[in-house]
Amino acid sequence: MTLRCTQAQRVSRSLRTSGRWAFTLFEMLVVLSLIVAAVAISMPHVLRLADSQRLKQGAELVRIKLTSTRVYAIENGMPYQFRFEPDGQNYCILPGDGLNDASAPSGGGSVRLPLVAGQLPGKTKFDKLPIGRTGGGVIPETQFTSFPNAH
């Protein structure tokens, strides 16, 4: 009886005899350390890009809100103001000068004008302003009655 070895069996046998089945632990650690070094080198750049994108997204959000409010104010002939929390993320857009009621006469009654409130995305914040430069003082609570989370 003769035994014949297939090509695959010969290759398998030659691999077993050479002792080269897999990577050594040292080789794996070298590759892993190279990957960790590459990630550590690129991480600050990636974080800066993410912060920059968050800032652009926040600016674009506020720009869109201001533009739509401006169009609405022009169409209805009513002034609006933009208020924000210095060193914070919250903002609101209010009708009028902020000191009067947020309603306007309309044919004998009054109609509630739309208010806009929002928050900047992520950790983006409005800049701090020096005291006396916020432009208007305290807003009466009646201005915030239409907001869902007004206190």
Got the DSSP string for 4-46? Answer: ---HHHHHHHHHHHHT-SS--HHHHHHHHHHHHHHHHHHHHHH
pLDDT at 104: 47
pLDDT at 35: 97
The predicted model gives 105-130 an average pLDDT of 68
The predicted model gives 1-24 an average pLDDT of 64
pLDDT at 105 exceeding the cut of 60:
no
pLDDT at 129 exceeding the cut of 80:
no
- Higher-pLDDT residue of 48 and 134 is 48
pTM to 2 decimal places: 0.53
